[in-house]
Structure 1
Amino acid sequence: MREEVQTNPHDLDEETLFVVSQTFKALGDPTRIRILNLLCCKEYSVNDIAEELNLGQSTVSHQLRFLKNLRLVKFRREGTTLYYSSADDHIMNLLHQAIDHAKH
């Protein structure tokens, strides 16, 4: 049985509110959802993401910068190429639950 965490509505400080709202903002954009969903299984370069999702490289770079600032994606450098991957399993679980819910 899963234990539910009880939160007091008065326990939400401004920083927590901001982080939660930014997370939902990130998940509220179809392009970012597509990128996060792609990155759930393996890492991709910006060019690979752009090709796989049929998006412009500048669009992908812009969205990755947003996701990186929220620490939802991480990257590693290999030569001059950056490879991006998911950085937050909690958010990926939330995303996949939302996708599963939408499909029902």
Structure 2
Amino acid sequence: MTKSVIEEDLIIEGNIASKDGDIEVKGQVKGDVTGENVSVHTHGNVTGAIKATSVRVQGRHTGQIECTELALEKNAEVKADVKAQTLSSEKGARLVGKVQITG
């Protein structure tokens, strides 16, 4: 399994896809992100759709999320329409949008 890291000083305008790999966003992505496991770190910011098996958000995301497992950590700021099988959220996480948990 491969791991792609978007470092804090990097801004990407365009879509990112890693068929079977992990994507860690520490910087900014303006586009869609598709991977096996996607993590948006504390200073990370994604504007676009995220599609993955597992999504973990510590930073900011605006757009859509489609995944099996979604974890929102305490500093997460998410403005998105969400479709997930499971959702876990730490105290302090913020989520605004349409949420569909399919169980």
What band does the TM-score fall into relative to the shorter chain?
A: under 0.3
Report which structure shows greater RCO (CA 8 Å, sep ≥6): 1
Q: TM-score, normalised by structure 2?
A: 0.23
* Bigger Rg, which one: 1
Q: TM-score, normalised by structure 1?
A: 0.23
